[in-house]
Amino acid sequence: MYGFEAMTFNIHGGYLEAIVRGHRAGLLTPADYNNLCQCETLDDIKMHLSATEYGPYLQNEPSPLHTTTIVEKCTLKLVDEYKHMLCQATEPLSTFLEYITYGHMIDNVVLIVTGTLHERDVQELLEKCHPLGMFDSIATLAVAQNMRELYRLVLVDTPLAPYFSECITSEDLDDMNIEIMRNTLYKAYLEDFYKFCQKLGGATAEIMSDLLAFEADRRAVNITINSIGTELTRDDRRKLYSNFGLLYPYGHEELAVCEDIDQVRGTMEKYPPYQSIFSKLSYGESQMLDKAFYEEEVKRLCLAFEQQFHYGVFFAYMRLREQEIRNLMWISECVAQNQKSRVHDSVVFIF
Amino acid sequence: MERIEKFIDNLPSMDLMRSEKMTLVQLIIPVESAHRAISYLGELGLLQFRDLNSEKSPFQRTFVNQVKRCGEMSRKLRFFKDQISKAGLLSSVHPVVEPDLELEELEIQLAEHEHELIEMNANSEKLRQTYNELLEFKLVLQKACGFLLPSSNLAGAEERELSENVFSNDDYVETSSLLEQEMRPSDQSGLRFMSGIICKSKALRFERMLFRATRGNMLVNQAPADEEIMDPLTGEMVEKTVFVVHFSGEQARTKILKICEAFGAKCYPVPDDISKQRQITREVSSHLSDLETTLDTGIRHRNKALTSIGYHLTQWMSMVRREKAVYDTLNMLNFDVTKKCLVGEGWCPIFAKAQMQEALQRATFDSNSQVGIIFHVMDAVESPPTYFRTNHFTNAYQEIVDAYGVARYQEANPAVYTVITFPFLFAVMFGDWGHGICLLLGALVLIARESRLSTQKLGSFMEMLFGGRYVLLLMSLFSIYCGLIYNEFFSVPFHIFGGSAYKCRDATCSDAQTAGLIKFRDPYPFGVDPKWRGSRSELPFLNSLKMKMSILLGVTQMNLGIILSYFNARFFRSSLDIRYQFVPQMIFLNSLFGYLSLLIIIKWCTGSQADLYHVMIYMFLSPTNDLGDNELFWGQRALQIVLLLLALVAVPWMLFPKPFILKKLHSERFQGRTYGLLGTSEFDLDLEPDSARQHHEEFNFSEVFVHQMIHSIEFVLGAVSNTASYLRLWALSLAHSELSTVFYEKVLLLAWGYDSFIIRLIGLAVFAFATAFILLMMETLSAFLHALRLHWVEFQNKFYHGDGYKFKPFSFALITDEDD
């Protein structure tokens, strides 16, 4: 019932919404970023973070710190918060929360499969996986030789199984079709998530469809740009776009035939919400596109908190926190490598 | 008038009423004695440092390295603590008290200890791992043989029977070895096996995965391991399962190996040959026992080291905390131009100046500094912090007041009165001496255990109860007193102070409920006559009594509040507030509700039948009409008219003059400044310390006027609504007595009416629970809250600003353990 969430939402969702809003209040502030950017060593960063919500997670780390430790501990905090929320959640919020992690699951699957293809050690790969996207038999992925085996051996037990219907082939795995697999999976995942949110209805559907549409469109643009100059055919490219979003369907037709970045730009500038993103870039440039998209995403995610009684806040919070961890990683890398002038290149401020 | 002034001037100085006089001091400390000086000041705990580097982030400050080192040391200490608790040792009850070490020494010591511990942990972990592997190998050997035998004896039923028989034999290995020699497993068929061990929780999924990967072309045998194995990461005991997989083909082998790796299953080769098996088992067992002794010695050694650390741990921890606090404070100081001295500013109470100077001298002397520490008083623009010295007893009351707002610097402290009025108002609502005694017992238990409880860590609820133990004590004493006045003991009246003044009209007492009783002797000497209980007019009588009492108490307390505003104004020398705020407020309140109180008292004394509602209402509606039967004294009508006029005059009196005079004063001062008359400006500062503090602010007349208007309207409406609000004293007291009557009559007496032991017992239990939880806990809470409201709103809004900030001195005693 749209507009009447206030009557029933708090029965099950009220506590967790309060929790998630509390967590959001703990995000680093511009003043924090300002101080972090002035740090000289990683110890300074640790010292500064110890005054924030990350404090308890970093306080027991011995002194020669590494960027990976900082990132790992910060991610651990996010994971702990996520697990706590998941434990407290009831249907359909618990399913919604689980949906948030599927993206990481896809990334992890791709990471492991690619890693084994290049004969890396499985344990080493497992350490690199995002803890939110872990599932029980993830290590067994290394056994599989082709998509069919991948599906039959491992993924059939995971929530990703339904998404695989599009890409079961007996071809041996290589970089190209792994990447296609990733995008096909992601497409199926986004569409499923979108459908799920629509089914929830109300403010959740409204806000999440906006956020997911943005995500789908961003992926479409990225796929287009990354596939320019590869052997991917137009039809195949077209198949990787999700079937919703602002660009669907006509934008997709145009993107599918784009041959260089300026054509993509031309297509995107027809859509007012994306005009501002592209107007920031100079012609022929795609380096800063990621950052521009991230900034736009953060803006939209923050807006999700303006409305009450919907699940979008959970999605938004997880994404914002991930962005914050990416920022921290970038800042610590810059500090560790003495490249402080480049700090601002990739940090997306969250306000 | 002058005599009153003189009388007020000669009153004792009222130290309790005002917060301590504070002064801003500046310290100029030579670098070499800075650390010692700060730690001495921390022991003294009477100086609140101001952060002079607030624009710097924490890692840009001077002593950031020391702070980091302290952080590192406390991390090490936490590590030790963790290790000690993991090893199951208790940190020692009687910590060794040593003279304080130097920080550097401690740092070295800690680093050594940590190094040692980490090395020991690594060693024992390595040993543990080998031990685990051997143990697992042993388990696999034990179990796998059991699987391998029957599987290799596919020849016929006889052998199987035989081999089954041998299971019961102790020396079955030998017997089976005979069989084994005949029946060599045929490697030619390509049937091979792999044996290993896996966590029990993963076994099922492992089997499923094997099945899928080999498309069912394999056979898994499992058996739970007899012993649990310690997981080296978490230190928990894990149940494991031994498995043997039979399969064929090289491809399947690599797949199975990969799956084993993915599931963290360890494979151990089990030889086919039985004699070899036995030999290996023997070897493994002997190795195991060797390792076990080594491990044990290692653990003993480690425990010894940990115990010796444990002796010092508490002392070290508090020392590191202190050091960190000292450096954090040093970070608030500024370097002077020459970089040889640190400059600090802070607030301290004036009485502590001598102590501080003494401490600073000691610091100079102890650190052999050539230059002394300069300590001098500075002028401050901003308002000083508020500091009340409290003791065990008054602390809780001060907390009650501070919860509303910390007093403005040197403003009258309502906590002084709250000590008595708060428990008293509570008791008016909670008057029952039975319940009072229960509360008293609770309070006495808390107070008797004070020394023990104050060192313990309590739960949040107990903490609150313990913190308010003296409030509870006075509350219970007063509720015993009020209970005696109301004559209620669990709602039962008693003849404590002699017999009742009333008796029945005749011997049968049949018309007591209808016609009432007759009074035959002097009134009951103290409190309510017990005969009122259960009589027809009990409620009207008690209600009338309690309502009037509530109004009397309320008017008294509100008057006290207004009088306190007079003392505030006097103290801050604001004659404006006295003339245009205190006087009209006093007149307004007393001409209406003071008059009502007077009427109540007269009515009580004379026993008149006048209707006070009527009198009060018609005083406003038609003041000139004749009072008729309701006249209580001669000249009442004239008095009423005068009072009404006074009240009417008081309203514009408190509304208009003050803002206009303020405006005039402001423009005068502004002119005075243009002409540069120093004398006048100083005089003005004395006159208006409030505005002196903020004299950069523009004078905004409309704002001041609106403010004054709000104040006046609030007071005029408040006089009515606050008086009405005091009626909650009556309402809650009524509710309390009715509730306890219900529990007594409808539960206890009802149950007693039955001649059954069980029903009586149940009745008693229900009564006890209701008394304990509803009357003693819920009612106490609600009466507490209402008393709190009466103080915060009705009493304090007459005079209390509550916009100060608390004095937070740098003190070692106040550094709490933030880890717990």
* pLDDT of B817: 53
- The answer to whether B199 faces chain A, any CB pair under 8 Å, is no
The reported pTM is 0.73
Please, which pLDDT band fits residue B512 given cuts at 50, 70 and 90?
low
Mean pLDDT, range B709-738, rounded to an integer: 93
pLDDT value at residue B727: 95
B258 interaction partners in chain A (CB closer than 8 Å): 140, 142-143
A-chain residues near B67 (CB < 8 A):
47
A48 and B57 within 8 Å at the Cβ level: the answer is yes
The pLDDT of residue A315 is 94
Which of the residue ranges B178-192, B400-414, B714-728 would you say has the lowest mean pLDDT? B178-192
Residue A35 C-alpha, separation from nearest chain B C-alpha, in angstroms = 6
When pLDDT is cut at 50, 70 and 90, the band that residue A286 belongs to is low
Q: Length of chain A, please?
A: 351
- Nearest alpha-carbon partner for A61 in A80, A88, A33, A42: A42
Q: For chain A, say whether B213 makes contact (Cβ under 8 Å).
A: yes
Question: What is the residue-averaged pLDDT of chain A?
Answer: 86
> Which one is predicted more confidently, B390 or B731?
B731
- Is A47 in contact with B209 (Cβ distance < 8 A)? no
Number of H helices, E strands in chain A: 18, 0
Give the Cα separation of B135 and B240 in Å (integer).
11
Of A135-139, B158-162, B362-366, which gets the smallest average pLDDT? B158-162
Ramachandran region of residue B389, left (φ > 0), alpha (ψ -120 to 50) or beta? beta
- The answer to whether the beta carbons of residues B795 and B723 sit under 8 Å apart is no
pLDDT of residue A189: 92
- B239 φ, ψ (degrees, to nearest 5): -85, 140
Partners of B263 on chain A (C-beta within 8 Å) are: 139-140
Token pair for residue B64?
């950031």
Question: Per-residue DSSP letters for B621-653?
Answer: H-TTS--GGG--STTHHHHHHHHHHHHHHHHHH
Mean pLDDT on B696-701: 69
Give A19's contacts (C-beta < 8 A, 6+ positions apart): A84, A85, A88
Reported as half-sphere exposure (CB side, CA atoms, 13 A), residue B663 has a value of 12
Q: Of B246-250, B515-519, B803-807, which has the strongest mean pLDDT?
A: B803-807
The whole-angstrom distance between A16's CA and the closest CA on chain B is 24
Within an 8 Å CB–CB cutoff, is residue A171 touching chain B?
no
Please tell me what DSSP assigns to residue B806: B
Q: Does B79 touch chain A (CB under 8 A)?
A: yes
Chain A: give the shortest CA distance to residue B793, in Å. Answer: 31
Find the CB nearest B258 among A47, A142, A152: A142
Contact: B59, A60; criterion CB under 8 Å:
no
| Cβ neighbourhood burial of B748 (10 Å; 0-12, 13-18, 19+) | buried
Q: Which residues of B touch A48 (CB under 8 A)?
A: 57-59
Cβ contact, residue pair B213, A51, below 8 Å: no
Residue B251 distance to chain A (closest CA, Å) = 11
Spacing of C-alpha B114 from chain mean position: 35
Is pLDDT of B533 > 90?
no
Q: Which residues of A touch B820 (CB under 8 A)?
A: none
Mean pLDDT estimate for chain B: 82
Mutate to test the interface with A, among B54, B55, B56, B59 (most CBs of A within 10 A): B59
For residue B104, is pLDDT > 60? yes
Nearest-CA distance B211 → chain A (Å): 9
pLDDT tens-place string over residues B408-420: 888 889 998 999 9
State CA B527 to chain mean position distance: 39
Nearest residue on chain B to A36, alpha-carbon basis: B57
Closest-CA distance, A304 to chain B, in angstroms, reads 32
CB of B255 less than 8 A from some CB of A: yes
> Mean per-residue pLDDT for B574-601?
92
What does the pLDDT look like over A53-63, one tens digit per residue?
888 888 888 77
Q: What is the pLDDT of residues B245-290, one digit of tens each?
A: 888 877 788 888 888 877 778 888 777 777 887 888 888 888 888 8
**Whose CA is closest to B429, among B532, B604, B549?**
B549
What pLDDT does A276 receive? Answer: 83
B160 has a chain A CB within 8 A of its CB: no
Nearest by CB: B75 against A35, A48, A62 = A62
Q: Which residues of A touch B212 (CB under 8 A)?
A: 152-153
Whole-number pLDDT of residue B14: 66
Residue B247: what are its φ and ψ, rounded to 5°?
A: -155, 175
Q: How far apart are CA B20 and CA B347, in angstroms?
A: 11
pLDDT at B453: 83
Compute the distance between CA of residue B704 and CA of residue B711 in angstroms, rounded to an integer.
10
pLDDT in tens, A227-240: 887 878 888 888 88
Among B68, B78, B209, beta carbon nearest to A47: B68
Is residue A23 within 8 Å of residue A81, measured between CB atoms? yes
- pLDDT, one tens digit per residue, over B488-497 is 998 888 888 8
* pLDDT value of position B372: 81
Among chain A residues, the shortest Cα distance to B818 is held by A56
Tell me if chain A has a CB within 8 Å of the CB of B65. Answer: no
Verify whether the Cβ–Cβ distance A39 to B59 is below 8 Å: yes
Listing DSSP states for A191-203 in one string gives: HHHHHHHHHH-HH
Please tell me if residue A329 touches chain B, with a CB cutoff of 8 Å.
no
Eight-state DSSP code of residue B492: B
Choose between B103 and B440: higher pLDDT: B440
- Closest CA of chain A from B386, distance in Å: 28
Rounded to an integer, what distance in angstroms lies between the CA atom of residue A130 and that of residue A121?
Answer: 17
Chain A residues with beta carbon closer than 8 angstroms to that of B205: 136-137
Identify the pLDDT of residue B773. 92
Question: Which residue of chain B has the CA closest to A49?
Answer: B58
**Is B248 strand, coil or helix?**
strand
A254 vs A236: CA distance, rounded Å: 14
Q: Are strands B502-503 and B518-519 parallel, antiparallel or unpaired?
A: antiparallel
**Share of residues in chain B with pLDDT > 90 (%):** 26
Which of A47, A126, A138 has the highest number of chain B CBs within 10 A, making it the mutation to test binding with B?
A47
Q: How far apart are CA A179 and CA A189, in angstroms?
A: 15
Are B530 and B495 spatial neighbours (Cβ–Cβ below 8 Å)? yes
CB of B205 within 8 Å of a chain A CB? The answer is yes
Whole-number pLDDT of residue B682: 42
Q: Is pLDDT above 80 for B800? A: yes
Q: CB B209 to CB A61 under 8 A?
A: no
Compute the nearest-CA separation of B63 from chain A (Å): 13
State yes or no: pLDDT of B688 exceeds 50.
Answer: no
Q: Is the pLDDT of residue B91 over 60?
A: no
Nearest to B794 by CA among B560, B461, B486, B596: B560
- Phi, psi (deg, nearest 5) at residue A60: -95, 15
Query: Would you call A139 an interface residue with chain B, using a CB distance cutoff of 8 Å?
Result: yes
What pLDDT score does B673 carry?
56
Give the residue, B402 or B693, on which the prediction is more confident: B402
Q: A-chain residues within 8 Å CB-CB of B58?
A: 35, 47-48, 51
- Kindly indicate the confidence band of residue B819, based on its pLDDT and cuts at 50, 70 and 90: very low
- Contact yes or no for B261 and A60 at CB 8 A: no
Predicted ipTM?
0.74
Q: pLDDT confidence of B189, banded at 50, 70, 90?
A: low
pLDDT at position B171: 40
Nearest to B262 among A50, A59, A142 (CB): A142
- The label of the residue with tokens 């060794």 reads B96
Chain pair A-B, CB pairs under 8 angstroms: 60
What is the model's pLDDT at position A237? 85
pLDDT computed for residue B100 by the predictor? 62
Per-residue pLDDT band for A2 (boundaries 50, 70, 90) equals low
Residue from the list B75, B205, B261 with its beta carbon closest to the beta carbon of A122: B261
The CB-based long-range contact list for B301-307 (8 Å cut-off, 24+ gap) reads B301/B120, B302/B87, B302/B117, B302/B120, B302/B121, B302/B124, B303/B87, B303/B89, B305/B113, B305/B116, B305/B117, B305/B120, B306/B80, B306/B83, B306/B84, B306/B87, B306/B89, B306/B117, B307/B89, B307/B92
Convert the pLDDT of each residue in B299-356 to its tens digit: 888 888 888 888 888 888 888 888 888 888 888 888 877 778 888 889 989 888 888 8
Chain A: closest CA distance from residue B79 (Å): 8
